[in-house]
Amino acid sequence: MLIAQVIGTIVATRKHEKLVGSKIQVVQALRPDSGLGVGEPSVAVDAVGAGVGERVIVVQGSSARLALDNDLCPVDATIIGIVDHLDIG
């Protein structure tokens, strides 16, 4: 899992049939300690209704498909939570 920020939304009028009705977001991974972006932005299916500017929890790989309750869905990353507060002691 990783912490990321939603930085954009993708609109796709044509997509794989398993993704019809799914919201697709552009996310930027964040360093948990500083909140600074790290690496290149990526794309994730939104399973929780996050909006641009929100910090989110993202899973990748096979966990991304399982989070959508469809192991045949062709996704690499899924947003599974919205971060309300982050406390690193």
| Domain map (residue ranges) of the chain | 2-54+68-82
Q: Give pLDDT tens digits for 4-59.
A: 999 999 999 899 998 888 999 999 999 988 889 999 999 999 999 999 999 999 99
The pTM for the full model equals 0.93
Inform me whether the pLDDT recorded for 3 exceeds 80: yes
Q: Cβ(68)–Cβ(48) under 8 Å?
A: no
Q: What confidence score (pLDDT) does residue 66 get?
A: 87
Q: What share of the chain is helix, strand, coil (3-state, %, to 5)?
A: 10, 40, 50
Q: How many CB atoms are located within 10 Å of the residue 81 CB?
A: 16
Query: CA–CA separation, 17 vs 31, rounded Å?
Result: 34
2-54+68-82: which CATH architecture? Beta Barrel (2.40)
Q: Give pLDDT tens digits for 45-65.
A: 999 999 999 999 999 998 998
82 - beta bridge partners? 56
